[in-house]
Chains A and B, each alone.
Chain A
């Protein structure tokens, strides 16, 4: 297993956000994470990355066989976890090119990566300053491509992206997740999606639903999405776990 989450309960300022979450992810696996607004999807990703003022009440997170529950985010990043923020902050004066130089793994070439994302003209812009929805996503993906993590956490990669950009972004995610490799695929992804649009571009092995602060069910992502479309998240609650 690449990632194992065992009985994880998380709170922020005394408010419980996640309760007894169990989730495991294999090498090479892509998992969609569904759930209504406020169900705790982003909190789960933040907890895996070690961000925010989240408090781990119980449980643990194992990555590559090591307990990372109490590691700072940069240690987790160095071990191979990368995250795409839904709403990344602007960092004035820090050029896209400069952040890529700071975080890129050996052998990656920022110019080449930017060209793949049609992002070359943004390399000398301040990071995220005045970027449109699609540009923010591309900037996030560009950083992830430079980092080349083994586990990619994507928080609503399709939100706020127009139809022209979505195929570009879908293609970049496919590359990050080595979708063109079949036998030797190593990269894993945990992808939050609301609309499920991303499934048209990125094939997922499984889907799971976060309801009532915990993972309610796991199964075929298309079937789960179809069920949510028909019956809403309330339908999930009536579903036998």
Chain B
């Protein structure tokens, strides 16, 4: 038995540090095998749902595509020579060196979910930008749950080689609101010297889906990592707390998250950044909106080297109902000369702002909608317009549930 498997075995019952515990026995890793398909021939998925999660089935305006349903990768394609898109299993066959990138950033024995992903490894995506390759069109990856009670375990590896630039949009979705399932996703991203990755993830799960992503990102000298996370649809339980290691000189990371919790939804979402490279910078911005659900919004910045700079901002708004927003910003300066700051605010919609807009001729409902839309709109820089449009689209779709 490999060292990885041994460690995983030892952690199979280890609960996660955050979020409600989940009984893994409730879910099955058994699922039918779905055949490979051309993107245009994909007919087993709900196309509207896919589009809402940012996956364009025509593949137009994308430099590559990946679709996994339950445990089957049904499609991979690439149109840009500098970009590789493969199922992780296949990539491991082609590139023996890839083993070195597996479980390097995420500890396999972190909790029972990482253990499960190692012991019941199904597939996932491998995306790589070759040295110097710059692709302005995004690669799209879709992870889809279809079978009843399915436990999907994916392991994704993304590598931006030196001087490359890649944009990825991941849409996660499910077939119908009735599907019960558990999605465990391990993601390890490597931003090499002077490379850039933007990663936009739109979660479009359903009331009965539990989600436990486990992600970590390594950012080398001059590297830039932009992470945008949008979850505006119902989900039973979501807990994620990725870590960015900014170990290179001048490494930059920016996290934006936009969250909406409706009644019955529990989210425990945050990010952690370890700033150890000279002049490393990080910014985390979270917008949490509750219409009756619960959101724990975490953020931790660790300053390990003089001259690093980080800022964390969390704004929460409880729009109605018995919602709860629990913001936990944390700063950990370990040496002299770090510059870390945070601001957090949780409140209700300001009457003064509503009246201001009403005085301009907007009805009360229009005024509230306008303010909430603004609240969720984060200025996201450095990503292609098509991805900004996808994020705006997701926000627009969620608006009807706000009133």
B327: interface (CB < 8 Å): no
Contact status B358-A93, CB under 8 Å: no
How close is A76's CB to chain B, nearest CB, in angstroms? 8
Could you tell me if B371 and A91 are in contact, using CB atoms closer than 8 angstroms? yes
A73 to B355, CA, bound (A): 8
Given contacts A72-B364, A102-B370, A126-B374, contact A91 B353 (CB under 8 A): yes
Interface presence of B396 (CB below 8 A):
no
- Inter-chain contact B355/A103, CB cutoff 8 Å: no
Contact call A147/B360, Cβ cutoff below 8 A? yes
In this complex, the member of B361, B370, B375 whose beta carbon has the largest number of chain A beta carbons within 10 angstroms is: B361
Q: Does any Cβ of B come within 8 Å of A99's Cβ?
A: yes
Q: Is the CB of B403 closer than 8 A to any CB of chain A?
A: no
How many Å lie between the Cα of A167 and that of B169 in the bound state?
50
Known: A91-B371, A94-B371, A126-B374. A102 touches B359 (CB 8 A): no
B373: A residues at CB distance < 8 A: 93-94
Total cross-chain contacts (CB, 8 A):
67
* 0/1 string, A69-80, CB within 8 A of B gives 1: 000111001100
A residues adjacent to B (C-beta < 8 A):
49, 51-52, 72-74, 77-78, 82-83, 85, 88-89, 91-94, 99, 102-103, 126, 143, 147
Q: By the criterion CB–CB under 8 Å, are B362 and A74 in contact?
A: yes
Tell me whether chain B's interface is mostly helix, strand or loop, or mixed.
Answer: helix
When the two chains form the complex, which single residue of A73, A93, A94 contacts B359, counting CB atoms closer than 8 Å? A73
B362 and A102 contacting across the interface, CB-CB below 8 Å: yes
Partner of A52 from the list B355, B366, B371, B377 (CB cut-off 8 Å) is B355
Residues of A within 8 A of B358 (CB): 51, 72-74, 77
Chain A residue nearest to B363 (CB atoms) is A74
Chain A minimum-CB-distance residue to B350: A89
Contact A78:B361 (CB < 8 A) given known A51-B355, A93-B373: yes
Cβ-defined contact, B360 with A77, below 8 A = yes
Residue contact A85 to B356, C-beta cutoff 8 Å? yes
B378 within 8 A of A: yes
Give, as a whole number of angstroms, the nearest-CB distance from A128 to chain B: 9
Contact count band on B = 20 to 34
Known: A51-B355, A73-B355, A102-B370. A93 touches B360 (CB 8 A): no
The A contact surface, by secondary structure, is: mixed
Q: Which residues of B contact A102 (CB under 8 A)?
A: 360, 362, 366, 370
B206 CB within 8 Å of chain A: no
Distance between B346 CB and nearest chain A CB, rounded to angstroms: 14
- Complex CA gap A138/B367 in Å reads 22
In this complex, the member of A85, A88, A102 whose beta carbon has the largest number of chain B beta carbons within 10 angstroms is A102
Residues of B contacting A83 with CB < 8 Å? 359
Shortest A61–chain B CB gap in Å is 15
> A74–B356 Cα gap in the complex (Å)?
10
Q: Find out whether the CB atom of B356 lies under 8 angstroms from the CB atom of A88.
A: yes
- What residues of chain B lie closer than 8 Å to A82, measured between beta carbons? 359-360
In the complex, chain B residues whose CB is within 8 Å of the CB of A103: 360-362
Known: A72-B364, A89-B353. A49 touches B370 (CB 8 A): no
The complex places the Cα of A51 from the Cα of B371 at a distance, in Å, of: 18
Q: How far is the CB of B380 from chain A (nearest CB, A)?
A: 12
Give 6 A-B pairs besides A73-B359, A103-B362 with Cβ atoms closer than 8 angstroms: A51-B359, A74-B361, A83-B359, A91-B370, A102-B362, A147-B361
> Is B376 on the interface with A (CB-CB < 8 A)?
yes
Bound-state CA distance A164–B304 (Å) is 48
Q: Is B352 at the interface (CB under 8 A from chain A)?
A: yes
Cα(A14)–Cα(B375), bound, Å? 34
A to B CB contacts below 8 Å, 12 in the list? A72-B358, A72-B363, A74-B362, A77-B360, A77-B361, A88-B356, A91-B371, A92-B315, A93-B378, A94-B370, A99-B357, A143-B360
Nearest-neighbour CB distance to chain A for B368, whole angstroms, equals 12
What is the CB-to-nearest-CB distance from A73 to chain B, in angstroms, rounded to a whole number? 4
Q: Min CB distance, A35 to chain B, in Å? A: 21
A89, B370: Cα distance in complex, Å: 14
Specify which chain A residues have a CB less than 8 angstroms from the CB of B374 in the assembled complex: 91-94, 126
- In the complex, how many angstroms separate the beta carbon of A44 from the nearest chain B beta carbon? 15
- Residues of the B chain whose Cβ atoms lie less than 8 Å from the Cβ of A147: 360-361
Contact of A99 among B352, B360, B376, B377 (CB under 8 A): B360
